[in-house]
Amino acid sequence: MPEKARAWGGLLYRGGAVIAIFAAWEAAQAIPLADPSLFPRPSRILVESVAMAASGALFHHALQSLARILAGWALAAALGIPIGLAMGSWRVAEETVGTVVHFLRPISPVTWIPLAILLFGFGVGGPMFIVFLAAFFPIVLASAAAVRSVETVQINAVRTLGADEVAVFREVVIPGSMPGILLGLRIALGNAWAAVVAAELFGAQGGLGYLITQSVVFFELSHVMVGMVLIGFTGFVLDWLFLRFVDRHLRWMPKREAT
């Protein structure tokens, strides 16, 4: 119970900080410090959000972005974790697959957008491909680093008890790597959210990025701000849910001092 109360207390603190930011924003606009038509008040954004939610447009775009994020992120995890574990465990994997990973990693996912449009058109595939790229490399590198961080003493101790390499990998390496792998998954989730919005700005027919683009075209700046606020809110909620999942289902892991 105390852990649950602490988790909800942390959420309330964070929510209070966000509310304070919007309150300061509203107060600043009351002076005003900027043209309200170019920089709408939070109260105006709230009214527009309610209207767009009532029409169903807001949920339609948000769900499209969320589906692309979760699909691309899950695919990146399914491929990236095994590759990262292999790179961290065997030198030959690091020198072969790792070379390709380190060569492609510096290329920004946004750079791949034109190629994604050519390969997948303006449908679902292009943005999901960009999300996959944004999430894949952090997961691979974090998984590889996590394996290398496992104490050699623990591995040798299990080997002296007669465990074979499969048992060592299953009973020592994977559990010892889990905190680092989860950190990579968390970072990748944030990268995926940022990448899908960028991809939707150019290569999609729906989603929050598409909503922002269309709002700019028709000079509906309040709708632009609605999309931006929803992006931040949804990313915050996804990160919070991920941390709560870790706390709930992986209680054996060391506790974080702050999240």
Return mean pLDDT, the chain: 81
Asked if 38 and 158 sit in the same domain, the reply is yes
* pTM exceeds cut of 0.85: no
Asked if 15 and 70 sit in the same domain, the reply is no
Amino acid 258: pLDDT: 44
Phi-psi map region of 255: left, alpha, beta (phi>0 left; psi -120 to 50 alpha): beta
Structure tokens of 230? Answer: 């929803």
Asked if 54 and 9 sit in the same domain, the reply is no
Asked if 1 and 39 sit in the same domain, the reply is no
pLDDT tens-digit readout, 3-60:
565 656 666 777 777 777 777 766 766 665 556 666 677 777 888 888 888 888 888 8
Structural domain that includes position 10: 1-32
Asked if 11 and 126 sit in the same domain, the reply is no
Asked if 95 and 155 sit in the same domain, the reply is yes
Residue 256 counted as domain residue: no
Asked if 1 and 129 sit in the same domain, the reply is no
**CA pair distance 111, 114, nearest whole angstrom:** 7
Asked if 16 and 45 sit in the same domain, the reply is no
Asked if 44 and 25 sit in the same domain, the reply is no
Residue 258 counted as domain residue: no
Q: What is the identity of the amino acid at 200? A: E
Residue 196 counted as domain residue: yes
The gap between the terminal CA atoms of the chain, to the nearest Å, is 18
Q: What is the identity of the amino acid at 32? A: P
Q: How confident is the model at residue 217 (pLDDT cuts 50, 70, 90)?
A: confident
pLDDT of 243 above 90: no
Q: For the ranges 1-5, 23-27, 88-92, 244-248, which has the lowest average pLDDT?
A: 1-5
- Please, which contacts does 109-113 make with residues 24 or more away whose CB atoms are closer than 8 Å? 109/133, 109/134, 109/191, 109/195, 109/198, 109/199, 110/195, 110/198, 110/199, 113/198, 113/199, 113/202, 113/203
Asked if 16 and 102 sit in the same domain, the reply is no
**CA pair distance 250, 183, nearest whole angstrom:** 13
pLDDT tens-digit readout, 130-145:
999 999 999 999 999 9
Residue 254 counted as domain residue: no
Amino acid 83: pLDDT: 95
